[in-house]
Amino acid sequence: MFTSVLMIEKALTSADVEFVTTLHGDEPVAFHVLLQPRGDQADRLLRAIDDVALGELDEAVREGETPEGEEALTVGQRALEVSLTALRAAGARAEGRLVEEHPLDELKSLVVETGADEVIVLTDPHYVEEFFHRDWASRARHKVGVPVLKLFSHSKA
């Protein structure tokens, strides 16, 4: 069985689930999902700049409405449950947890703990962070010791 650690920031869409569960053909896959709610991941300014870069001006204006703190954890827990259910329904083994602080430290520990074969980082584009190589995938490549695949979410959840 192939073991993947999947880092996400919101609930997986059906297109995302199909994409990650078919990456390795017919080989069975076990996913260990780490979800850090978006409200805790990046500050509002960076998110707003990303929205403007994507031409989503309405989203940039609404960045102040993004849940943070305890509210983000509640939204994140629901997103995690939805994602795990969808992965299991697609035939994959899946377990997961929320990450409240230091996602890359948690990622490194989970890779070692599970003997993961790869890390998949599946997020919306974060152009500012990616430009400066401060996004999860860029930083994880120097930390985890297994291949890191950066994928963009197929649509808004």
pLDDT of 98 strictly over 50:
yes
Least confident of 24-28, 107-111, 114-118, 152-156: 152-156
pLDDT of 33 strictly over 70:
yes
pLDDT, averaged across the chain: 79
9 versus 59: the higher-pLDDT residue is 9
Distance CA 64, CA 145 (A): 37
Look at residues 146, 25, 17, 135 and name the one whose alpha carbon lies nearest to residue 86.
Answer: 17
Which tens digits make up the pLDDT trace of 55-84? 665 654 454 445 555 555 578 899 999 999
pTM: 0.76
List, in sequence order, the alpha helices (H) in the chain: 14-21, 38-41, 44-53, 57-61, 69-89, 103-114, 127-131, 136-140
Distance CA 12, CA 93 (A): 15
In this prediction, residue 151 has a pLDDT band, given cuts at 50, 70 and 90, of confident
133 versus 3: the higher-pLDDT residue is 3
Percent pLDDT > 70 in the chain is 68
Distance CA 12, CA 84 (A): 9
Angle between helices 69-89 and 14-21 (to 10 degrees): 50
Query: What is the mean pLDDT of the segment spanning 25-45?
Result: 77
